[in-house]
Chains A and B, each alone.
Chain A
């Protein structure tokens, strides 16, 4: 057995109560299962009870609310990449969603699962950093709203208490003239974990970059922002030279390690490649 009991939650209150109603048992929420079932199967994790949150209406779907885009935690990548709201307002997330696993994984896996699994190579999270998104967490008694940069506290460490669920992601709709982009370098086009990736938001105004966020994946214990690259970009008109300088600056903020997918030196090099590609695309889309 991978687990002993499977409970399907129909509503958010039910999900929360199921999560805390099994005294002494290891209870885990399961959304797409693409991380969790694998970890159970390989005995990396164990669980007594799984609470299926994939059909909880409060956790699903994409909507606009007071100038904010809200994406339910249990929304799948397929849904995200096909959403007009996302394509129009947060292209970076659609672009990243299409680069995660392959079709079947995109049909199953969720944004909340990516955040919950908290891998430093998680592909949906850099976009959320670049969009300066907040994570909304709900527990039996209260809801909390945390900037994503604070939610991920360290290597695979998140600000989530037992019994709590990630409810949704929220971010302000980027201003007029904003372009976003995600660029992933992996050993294959599909079904491959990022060696390095970058997500970028830039806002152009009168031909000059007014606002920029640059996020990097797989180069530190968590996803990181690159303040150095951002300050290079702000106030400048887009140019190849600028993209190169932003790339160089991003390399300074990256703290990559050697692992099976690439050496630290190769990753440093890739930070530049990914950053300049992503910045260029974002500028093109902003124009």
Chain B
């Protein structure tokens, strides 16, 4: 939570640019270098998690919840366990350690225990001699659900008396950003625009669906291989769930077939580790595309109301905004993504007065987490919309208006952080201006929709 109550007198601050020694020629900067792993990749020799196999390997499969919000009354695995070739059918009861994990806060269940919170939540896992036996076993697991009322938008989730996705309530996190004096800022404005922006969810769809491979080596160490963005955090969470000391768990990062933020979370790692630990056999668990889309994280859908003011000279005076981010059934990185959105709601522009509130809200939608841009992308939809509309209403060229207001060394960001040398927005805009001139182009704000 960031609260800054006084206006900073940026113009008076002198910024010292750290001196960097510059060479004319670098080994790789400014050059095209061959990725170290690209030759194996282009010849099909690179080994991804789903490519691993070992003698005696079992195939893992996950049963996903079919209910958005429901109590689990019972799970009957007897028919599944009787399928020929099935070596393990595990539910939350079989978790040796804590049935809790989460990249930011451990609010997620490894396997759903008493209730499911979204369609696609893992409920049970199976390891079998081949994938068909595993699939058949999954289809034989009987789960008795008692459906609960569910919420599918942050607005419904925030209504008084709304079904509680989590016992602690449906607000995961509220971020407040305060800078300057917002009333004064709007008093100084000659023009104010106010709009509501909505962005939709999105699947990362890495071409490699999530996968994990686990085996116990001769020293009794549980090895978990996966395409992960954070092996050490995975290792910690596996150890906690399996109740193992950290030095009994080793996580190795395989070649990763695209992550884009989603493989920052634990994906298949704990589940496959459990199966290997229980069966003593190597286990490979590869999600299908369908399962991955159901159970893994996505980009946050967001709803934003924002008000922005500028004076007659074309200088921004204030911005005020409220954001509701749908974080789905579990936190993942939803608190940070939506927090970041509050910080970046104004974009790369300087506002002497700034106020934003963002709410990361639990719903019974799939989990929304980290995705390239991390909330900044959703913010861009609104700040660029606002800036364009202000420029138009002020009769100013949109690039000129941006140049007049963009952050530069010596100015402060919404949080009060002073820009130093790494602040390239002005240079970028100038290059864009040159480009337009060189190519005889101009910016049309409302191009005719052409067929």
A residues with CB within 8 A of B: 1, 42, 273
What is the chain B residue whose CB lies nearest that of A41?
Answer: B288
Distance from B61 Cβ to chain A, minimum over Cβ atoms (Å): 13
What is the chain A residue whose CB lies nearest that of B139?
Answer: A43
Chain B neighbourhood of A1, CB < 8 A: 132
CA distance A42 to B290 in the complex (A): 10
CA distance A112 to B132 in the complex (A): 30
Where chain A touches its partner, the secondary structure class is loop
- List the 3 shortest-distance A-B pairs measured between CB atoms, nearest first: A1-B132, A273-B451, A42-B290
Chain B neighbourhood of A42, CB < 8 A: 290
CA distance A120 to B146 in the complex (A): 37
Distance from A6 Cβ to chain B, minimum over Cβ atoms (Å): 16
CA distance A1 to B133 in the complex (A): 9
CA distance A233 to B451 in the complex (A): 24
Distance from A170 Cβ to chain B, minimum over Cβ atoms (Å): 37
Distance from B145 Cβ to chain A, minimum over Cβ atoms (Å): 21
CA distance A1 to B84 in the complex (A): 14
Chain B neighbourhood of A273, CB < 8 A: 451
Chain A neighbourhood of B132, CB < 8 A: 1
CA distance A273 to B451 in the complex (A): 10
CA distance A180 to B365 in the complex (A): 47
Distance from A195 Cβ to chain B, minimum over Cβ atoms (Å): 15
Distance from B141 Cβ to chain A, minimum over Cβ atoms (Å): 15
Distance from B220 Cβ to chain A, minimum over Cβ atoms (Å): 36
3 A-B residue pairings within 8 Å (CB atoms): A1-B132, A42-B290, A273-B451
What is the chain A residue whose CB lies nearest that of B136?
Answer: A1
Distance from B114 Cβ to chain A, minimum over Cβ atoms (Å): 29
Please provide the chain B residues from 84 to 136 with a CB less than 8 Å away from any CB of chain A in the complex: 132
CA distance A142 to B202 in the complex (A): 53
CA distance A273 to B449 in the complex (A): 14
Please provide the chain B residues from 132 to 151 with a CB less than 8 Å away from any CB of chain A in the complex: 132
What is the chain B residue whose CB lies nearest that of A277?
Answer: B451
Distance from A87 Cβ to chain B, minimum over Cβ atoms (Å): 27
CA distance A35 to B290 in the complex (A): 17
Distance from B135 Cβ to chain A, minimum over Cβ atoms (Å): 8
CA distance A42 to B139 in the complex (A): 13
CA distance A273 to B132 in the complex (A): 46
What is the chain B residue whose CB lies nearest that of A1?
Answer: B132
CA distance A273 to B290 in the complex (A): 33
Distance from B1 Cβ to chain A, minimum over Cβ atoms (Å): 40
CA distance A273 to B373 in the complex (A): 37
What is the chain A residue whose CB lies nearest that of B290?
Answer: A42
What is the chain B residue whose CB lies nearest that of A42?
Answer: B290
CA distance A219 to B87 in the complex (A): 49
Distance from A44 Cβ to chain B, minimum over Cβ atoms (Å): 12
Chain A neighbourhood of B290, CB < 8 A: 42
What is the chain A residue whose CB lies nearest that of B132?
Answer: A1
Distance from A75 Cβ to chain B, minimum over Cβ atoms (Å): 30
What is the chain B residue whose CB lies nearest that of A2?
Answer: B132
CA distance A1 to B290 in the complex (A): 19
Distance from B280 Cβ to chain A, minimum over Cβ atoms (Å): 27
CA distance A1 to B132 in the complex (A): 6
Please provide the chain B residues from 425 to 451 with a CB less than 8 Å away from any CB of chain A in the complex: 451
Distance from A272 Cβ to chain B, minimum over Cβ atoms (Å): 12
Please provide the chain B residues from 273 to 315 with a CB less than 8 Å away from any CB of chain A in the complex: 290
Distance from A278 Cβ to chain B, minimum over Cβ atoms (Å): 14
CA distance A113 to B93 in the complex (A): 48
CA distance A1 to B131 in the complex (A): 9
Chain A neighbourhood of B451, CB < 8 A: 273
CA distance A42 to B132 in the complex (A): 12
CA distance A1 to B451 in the complex (A): 47
What is the chain A residue whose CB lies nearest that of B130?
Answer: A1
Distance from B226 Cβ to chain A, minimum over Cβ atoms (Å): 24
CA distance A77 to B41 in the complex (A): 32
CA distance A259 to B385 in the complex (A): 30
What is the chain A residue whose CB lies nearest that of B135?
Answer: A43
Distance from A171 Cβ to chain B, minimum over Cβ atoms (Å): 32
Distance from B170 Cβ to chain A, minimum over Cβ atoms (Å): 28
CA distance A202 to B334 in the complex (A): 57
CA distance A42 to B288 in the complex (A): 10
Distance from A128 Cβ to chain B, minimum over Cβ atoms (Å): 28
Distance from B137 Cβ to chain A, minimum over Cβ atoms (Å): 14
CA distance A1 to B136 in the complex (A): 10
CA distance A46 to B290 in the complex (A): 19
Distance from B287 Cβ to chain A, minimum over Cβ atoms (Å): 14
